[in-house]
Chain A
Amino acid sequence: MRKLKLLIISVMSIVIITGCWDKVEIDKRAFVALIGIDKFENNADQKKDKKNRYTVTIAYPNTGVIAGKGQGEPKFIYTSTGENFSDIINGLNTRLGKTTFFRHTKAIILGEKLAKDEKLFREVLDVIERSPELGRKIHLIIAKGEAKEILDTSTKDETVLGLFIRELMEQTRKTPRIADADLGYILRSLHESHTAITPKIVSSKDEFKIAGAAVLKDFKMIGWLGELETKDLMFMQDKIKSSEMNVVKDDIIIALRITDVSTKMRVYEEEGEIVTHFDVDGEANIQQHLFEVRDQPLDHEYLEKIGNLAAGNIKEEIKTTYKKIQDDYQADLVQAGESLRKHEPDTWDKVKENWDEIFPTTKVKVDVKIKVRRAGVTK
């Protein structure tokens, strides 16, 4: 009896303890850091089946080299084509001899042509949103040109491209020229108002640059915003951490650093028209004045004038960009509709049916207050 019990226990342990379907050793995982997705276009190469629609490029680091122990290439890049995203990834797995692992993916880069194709773009968005592996903190970036080019860039400094892009995106703390938009914001904004912006990435031979923004409307890309327009939009969305600005006063170009910006947006109805009101508050430091011009920077009234000049500049810029968004894109990128729904539900009920037509006719009012706080260490 005792022996039988022992036998049963040992047989059970063989069956129960050993099995593990999901075990993947760490050196058999490909930690994909960056994904690039392009529209498949090369129709001449298309074979009979004619099913290729996407080109997907993945990049993952050679974990051995990163840890300083292994040798060889610091990163691996693979490209494949196929009908949809998961097909391609499964196809890639057969080439890698590793299991692709997306939990540490830092960024997804979409080619410009793909982003302009509504059907493909919506498919890609759904893949990303539906995936349990991809978090909402990753960056969705649209490339000018092809995404593959970005992944093929060999940067001098940081070898893991995904981490590098993430570090570049961290620069949003310092400059507002990069659109501060992660996947969570993009998805939420697209659900809420069918419009959003994503950062834009441009590559050259051995470096790339993230600046400016792509405008999404009705689930496709409809245009670009320049770096300065992106900055203004960041002002409107209250996502500025700090910004640079030049003011000309008495022929002296004064460089200012704008910090501690907070923007309050109010949308309301006034005499039958919808008004979007931005109330910007900020502080400034003087970074550059002019050598041997004495006494000016430490004069309160002078500083106040500089502040007002800066405020005037910002005000004009915001107005221009707002007009541009209205006229060129008809896209409610500032989420005025959402604000209206939250704060003025009665007005929203009247306009929500044709908000797309009403938004381009809204008026904009801007109030800016910039206080110059510090003038550096010289008088």
Chain B
Amino acid sequence: MGRNNDRISSVQLAMILSVSIIGVGILSLPRSVAEAAGPDAWILVLMGTLMILIIALVISKIVTKFQQKTMIEFSEIIVGKPIGILITIGFSIYGIIFAAVEARLCAEVIKEYLLFNTPTEVIMVTLLLVSVYLVRSGIEPIARMAQIIFPIVTIIAILLIIPVLPEIDWTHFLPVLKTPILKLIKSLPVVILSFIGIELALVFSTFVIDTKNIKKNMYITVGLVAMVYFFIVSITIARFGIQETIHITWPTLELFKTVDIPGAFVENIEIFVIAIWILSVFMTLVSWYFSASLTISWVLKVKEQKYFVLPLIPIIYYLALLPDNLAQAMDYVDRFVNYFGIFYMIVLPIVLLGISAIRKGGRKGA
């Protein structure tokens, strides 16, 4: 089989990033935003989106500057070999932990709503084994999968939300702007961290053919995801009100439990929602898994990434089983993933861009 599977277009990159960003976070996003900003949740989402646009700009500047270079190559060029290797190793650890988190939370939701008797372990192993199949095939099949899944997920989700619309009450967003601005700014990380996954562009853009379009397509990614988030957050809060949104573990799913198509045979549509949501989580898992195995292969200077895919399974599986329950799992997310996330999403791109700009300036002077 002639496999020419290491090239994707920048549109495909945007699709991969979109499905990677929309993961387990979307189920609890309305709750965390409502907790942080009360009735001004929608403002918080807009503010967060603006910040993410800046981050997208920084990341795309870096990856277009070092066209088709891998993450390890350009970070070695900018900050030297040892630190470059360290950054890449860090990213693979980050990818492994994130894949574990996705697997565990996904299994928790499936167990809560769909498969009451199936052990969590079995749900996770099935999910992981399927993703191994896709991860081993490389970037192009992943990109194609993302292209198929993204429209399915968003279109079905929006269609299923329509029956909720008659019962929403926009007054839940009153009073407007009564939250202190300082508090809004302090809770910005809630929204920013829900965009975790955009830093995958640092890894994946090495495969992109048309590098000049990366910036545009990253904006498109942020725009699409922000639209989905804004839509979900505003509808959920308008339906439940602030108090109850805060009270529910997964408000987005609960939203669909309020749907009751009058006179229709269809009930319990939250099950359909979980089904399409699993597709989205699956893609998130695949992206992180792939980035982990890919960065390991770069560090070890091995040409094929697929040798590392299967050996990673036990590690991800073990990490996913570590938390005792959902509460602890979410605690771990806050502790590890958020620190890693802020580093790779905000700190690293800005530092790399800053240093490379200074160096270039220095060279010109010399």
Contacts and interface: CB of A to CB of B under 8 A. Distances in A.
Contacts, number: 55
Nearest to B254: A136
A21 B117 contact: yes
B118 interface: yes
B208 to A, nearest CB: 37
- Chain A interface residue number, banded: 10 to 19
Contacts of A136: 254, 257-258
Contacts of A187: 244
A343 B118 CA distance: 48
A27 interface: no
Interface string A16-45: 000111100000000000000000000000
B175 A343 contact: yes
* Central interface residue in A19, A135, A345, by most chain B CB within 10 Å: A135
Interface stretch (B89-97, B108-116, B189-197): B108-116
A132 B112 contact: yes
Contact of A21 (B39, B115, B240, B268): B115
Contacts of A137: 257-260
B328 interface: no
B178 interface: yes
A188 B244 contact: yes
Nearest to A103: B268
B254 A343 contact: no
A135 B257 contact: yes
Interface residues of B, number: 28
Nearest to A192: B243
A342 B174 contact: yes
Contact of B258 (A22, A103, A184, A345): A184
Nearest to A343: B174
Nearest to A166: B260
A191 interface: yes
A28 B278 CA distance: 28
Contacts of B240: 188
Contact of B241 (A104, A192, A345): A192
Interface of A: 19-22, 103-104, 132, 135-137, 184, 187-188, 191-192, 341-343, 345
28 contacts: A19-B122, A20-B118, A21-B117, A21-B122, A103-B268, A104-B267, A104-B268, A132-B112, A132-B113, A135-B257, A135-B258, A135-B260, A135-B267, A135-B268, A135-B270, A136-B258, A137-B257, A137-B259, A184-B258, A188-B241, A188-B244, A191-B243, A191-B247, A192-B241, A192-B244, A341-B175, A342-B174, A342-B175
Interface of B: 39, 112-119, 122, 171-172, 174-175, 178, 240-241, 243-244, 247, 254, 257-260, 267-268, 270
